[in-house]
Each structure stands twice: as structure tokens, then as C-alpha cells.
A = this chain, B = another copy of it.
Amino acid sequence: MKPVRMKDIARDLGVSVITVSKALRDHSDISAATRARVLKRVKELNYKPNYAARALVTGRSNMIGLVVPDLVHSFYSEIGNGLGGVLRKAGYNLVISSSEEDQEIESQVIDQLIARRVDCLVIASSNWTAAALKRVIEANIPFVLIDRRVPGIDANFVGGDDELIGVIATEHLIEVGCKTIAHIGGAKITPARGRLEGYKKTLAKHRLALGPEYIVTHDMLDESAHEVGYESAMSLLKLNPRPDGIFCFSDPLAIGTMRAILDAGLRVPEDVALVGCGNLHYDVFLRIPLTSVDQQSFAIGERAATLAIAMIDAESQSGPKPKPRSILLQPKLIIRESTYRKIHA
């Protein structure tokens, strides 16, 4: 039982395949009567156009590829949701691949998506070798980077204002009276560097700068962030003077940190105040509700989708390519109990 083809409809109606094709795509030069007949038969036979055939001739697949390091981390699934909604309404399908934060796998899935001739790639890459990106550029496929930039590549980007995130978090800790503020972060990825930068600048501005032992960085899977946070915090708490505030790169890190503080017999926020980043939806239900910097992940997805569609459209017009744009979403501090402290000032 083969799928219905345009040919079948054309035969039934005594018209040509071309007529059917045009009627289906609302081409102007088709009589209303013919179109109606076609549409009627289409419905009767439950005809579905074959996208592969269409893609072959038009050169457009109507698919967008999304590559993320980790599907399970809600930050990325929210991005996926934002993307998916916009794309669905625009008639695109979303092909999602997880790189599992592994460079090898990332290359492999990107190659796959190139072979699929996706119309645009949306990529949150971690260990980014320019090599993988180069293949995308060579394949002449437009792409949008999200969340993480690639040093040396001037590409379209949608993400958070990471330095500002670092500033906001650190300023807040200072405001609630912290004097010895530590940071637990990522290592190589650009958001980690931006947030660290914001943290450092803010400390410097307030003349609170500390030795490097108050900064712990690791590259990690989000899955293991809890444990990394726990271990990192444990070592930070042994320092003298002990930190009275900790700014964590992500909420999962902050959750591990919180557990370490409590296990060490200290109180949050009285002894150590804590700020995370991501504003995950369960933050409010934690042992101690977590103050966090919201990154607007859903909006990142939406904006990336809009940008992707714009790039595809620009591609089909043979005009000059628009310059790459950087869209930075404004971070917003969400204050919860983990930083409710008397202001010592």
C-alpha cells in the first residue's frame, strides 16, 4: 500500500501533475474551480506531499538542526521549546541531536545534519574546535550559535549577557553584606569566562578582590554538576577566611554547593549566602529556595528561531549577506531565601 502521489490525484481528475502541484501551493495561475477539485481529492485520498522529493528539487529541506550538549538539562530543553514553537508555526521541523558534551559526537552529529541538508543549524557547542564549524561554513549552511560563543568566529549569536550576569550576582552578594565571595564556575566555555569576568570586575570595583584560591572552575556535564558543586564547595569552605558568599555558574552547581554548606554544619544564608544562575523551575522548592539569575532560556530559543528563519530567507534572496548579529538577553535577578540576610552595612 504505497502512499498517494500527486500523479494519482492528477489521473483521477484528468489534469496534469503540474496543475496539482500549483493548486497545492496556492500558485496564482490556477482557476478557483480546479483548485477546489484538487483540494477535495487531496482530502479524500489523504494525500501528503513527499518532503524528500520537494527538498531534492528546491534545495530546501524545511528542517532546522539543533545541537545541544545535553538534552536533559532544563536550560536546553527550554531553549528547545522556544525554538520548536516558533519553527512549527513557520512550517519547519526540528531535528535535535545531543552531543553529550563530547567533541567527537558533536562532529559526527553536525556532519549528519549537514548531510540532511538542514536549512539552518542552531548550535550550543562546548569544546569547540573551529574545525567542526568550518565544515558547516564550507557546506554553506547558515548557523546560529546559542549560549556559547566560539572564539574567533564572528557568527550570529543568541545568548545571555554573561558578564552582566556575573556583575548582577556579585553585586547582590555584596549588597546583602558578603565580604568574602567565592566563585564556582565552568572553565573553557565562553559563558563561564564572561560570568567570571563580571565577578572579578565587581569585586575589584568594591576593593574586595581575593586570591585565586577563591575561584574554582571545572568543565563538566550538567549531569555531574551537583557533585562538582559539592566537592568544590567543600574545598572552598576550608579556606581562611571562609567565604561568606558563593556565586555559582549554574543552578545545578549551586544545588551541590548548598548541600555541601549544610553538610559542613553551616547555615544558608546566615553563614554563606548563595546565588546560582538559570532560575530553574524547581529552584523555589529546594531545601533553601535559591536566589538565581534568570537567563531567559525560552526567549533564547525563540530569538534563535526567528534569526534562523531570517537567515534562511536572506539566503534565498541573492542579496548581500547581512552582518552577523549578537542578540543578548537581559539577565534578571530572582531573589529567594538563599540570600535573605541582614544587611551588615
Contacts and interface: CB of A to CB of B under 8 A. Distances in A.
Interface stretch (A49-57, A185-193, A242-250): A49-57
Best-buried of A61, A111, A112 by chain B (most CB within 10 Å): A112
A118 to B, nearest CB: 9
Nearest to A63: B95
A52 B56 contact: yes
A48 B135 CA distance: 11
A71 B72 CA distance: 9
Contact of A97 (B1, B84, B282): B84
A105 B81 contact: no
Interface string A100-117: 100001001101111111
Interface in A280-316: 281-282, 285-287
Nearest to A118: B93
A320 interface: no
A127 interface: no
Given A81-B71, A93-B112, A282-B255, A53 B51 contact: no
B285 A116 contact: no
A315 to B, nearest CB: 12
A94 interface: yes
Interface in A106-148: 108-109, 111-117, 135, 138-140
A329 interface: no
A286 B63 CA distance: 39
A329 to B, nearest CB: 18
B3 A139 contact: yes
Best-buried of A108, A111, A112, A116 by chain B (most CB within 10 Å): A116
A96 B96 contact: yes
A163 interface: no
A98 interface: yes
Nearest to A298: B72
Contacts of A149: none
Interface in A71-93: 71-72, 74, 77-78, 80-81, 84-85, 88, 93
A264 B80 CA distance: 37
Contact of A48 (B50, B84, B114): B114
A105 B88 contact: yes
Contacts of A84: 71, 96-98
A31 interface: no
Contacts of A100: 85
Interface of A: 1, 3, 46, 48-53, 55-56, 61, 63, 71-72, 74, 77-78, 80-81, 84-85, 88, 93-98, 100, 105, 108-109, 111-117, 135, 138-140, 226, 255, 258-259, 281-282, 285-287
Given A52-B61, A53-B56, 5 more contacts: A48-B139, A74-B74, A226-B281, A285-B287, A287-B287
25 contacts: A1-B140, A48-B111, A49-B115, A51-B116, A52-B52, A52-B55, A52-B61, A52-B117, A71-B77, A71-B84, A72-B74, A74-B74, A77-B77, A85-B98, A88-B105, A93-B95, A94-B95, A95-B95, A95-B96, A226-B285, A255-B282, A258-B285, A282-B286, A285-B287, A286-B286
Nearest 5 Cβ contacts at the A-B interface: A52-B55, A48-B115, A52-B52, A77-B77, A96-B96
